[in-house]
């Protein structure tokens, strides 16, 4: 089921007709988080109460996500009989993002190849949180490669990992927490207390998948081990540095470095010791490496299934 869900999403993603008519399941999590944040994250409250409110938001998310997953599995097994696995697989498809990630990064590559920096900045702004208005071609390529590496864990490896371990409840619990981290798990004053639990739990859930993602990227490239082991901990996140350092080592480039968020410059350390003048060709190479790593992930999932674990 996990393999088929990964393959279906990789081939067709979440079709636009379905998105226009029903939205995306993650949108329901985002609505809950947004509602809780507006109602409970009031600036006049002390930090301790806002942290407790953030924990309450996470508990509500987990009840909804895991409850929905359990009800779906129970209901589909009850009415689907021997074909229930097909419907359960389809319910897992929107939790994957292998194809969606490829298409979003590919949308950056094409204008970058044509030297259309305005279009490339617009495309990369769809997948990164940093300021993109002044990025040159190297900065655009670097931002897209970093997003591809980090999202290989968040959008591909970790969802498959939790689907294999916990079925639909595990998958959708992970997606709910990861969505919460992306929305409120920030260090800015507004979210620091309320989003603390979301950030910490997301770190915990990605602990194994992030390292496995780095391993897959190094295996797919046949190199990058030294840089991954040396530079993974230079990243502010305890997890994102593993696939990013693996990608940097595999491609022989430098990632991270000084960037700006909301007009505020941040002097982040470099990851990797290769070239800094990245171009569209490096982004193409990153996409090819990503595809090989996805195939290797599928093989690992197949071996897991056939082992009977």
User: Of 110, 181, 149, whose CA–CA distance to 246 is shortest?
Assistant: 149
Return the structure tokens found at 215. Answer: 């391993």
pLDDT of res. 309? 58
Per-10-residue mean pLDDT of the chain, 309 residues long, equals: 87 77 85 94 91 95 94 83 85 91 94 93 90 89 95 95 93 96 89 94 97 97 95 92 96 89 80 90 96 92 74
pLDDT of res. 205? 97
Alpha helices by DSSP H, listed for 81-132, are 84-92, 98-113, 117-125
Q: Give me the residue spans of the domains in the chain.
A: 2-307
Q: How far, in Å, are 71, 80, 125, 180, 303 from residue 3 at the CA level?
A: 22, 20, 31, 26, 11
> What size, in residues, is the chain?
309
169-202 CB burial, b ≥16 within 10 A, e <16: bbbbbbbbbbbbbbbbbbeeeebbbbbbbbbebb
CA 230 to chain centre: 23
pLDDT of res. 11? 85
Question: Which helix (H) or strand (E) segment is 286 a member of?
Answer: helix 280-307
Contact indicator for 278, 141 with CB cutoff of 8 Å: yes
Question: Which helix (H) or strand (E) segment is 184 a member of?
Answer: helix 158-184
pLDDT of res. 16? 75
């Amino acid at each position: 089921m996990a393999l088929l869900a990964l393959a279906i999403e990789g081939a067709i993603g979440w079709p636009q007709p379905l998105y226009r008519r029903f939205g995306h399941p993650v949108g329901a999590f985002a609505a809950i988080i947004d509602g809780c944040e507006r109602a409970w994250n009031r600036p006049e409250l002390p930090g301790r109460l806002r942290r407790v409110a953030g924990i309450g938001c996470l508990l509500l998310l987990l009840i909804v996500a895991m409850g929905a997953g359990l009800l779906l599995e129970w209901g589909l097994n009850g009415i689907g009989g021997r074909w229930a696995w097909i419907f359960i697989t389809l319910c897992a498809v929107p939790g994957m993002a292998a194809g969606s990630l490829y298409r979003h990064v590919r949308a950056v590559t094409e204008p970058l190849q044509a030297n259309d920096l305005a279009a490339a900045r617009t495309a990369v702004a769809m997948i990164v949180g940093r300021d993109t208005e002044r990025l040159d071609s190297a900065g655009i390529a670097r931002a897209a490669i970093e997003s591809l590496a980090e999202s290989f864990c968040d959008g591909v490896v970790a969802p498959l990992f939790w689907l294999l371990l916990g079925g639909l409840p595990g998958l959708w619990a992970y997606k709910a927490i990861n969505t919460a981290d992306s929305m409120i798990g920030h260090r800015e004053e507004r979210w620091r207390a309320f989003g603390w639990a979301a950030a910490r739990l997301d770190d915990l859930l990605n602990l194994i998948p992030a390292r496995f993602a780095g391993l897959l990227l190094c295996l797919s490239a046949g190199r990058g081990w030294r840089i991954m082991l040396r530079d993974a901990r230079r990243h502010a996140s305890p997890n994102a540095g593993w696939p990013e350092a693996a990608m940097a080592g595999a491609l022989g480039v430098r990632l991270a470095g000084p960037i700006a968020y909301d007009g505020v410059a941040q002097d982040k350390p470099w990851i990797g010791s290769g070239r800094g003048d990245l171009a569209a060709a490096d982004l193409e190479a990153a996409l090819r490496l990503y595809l090989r790593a996805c195939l290797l992930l599928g093989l690992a999932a197949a071996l897991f299934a056939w082992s009977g674990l």
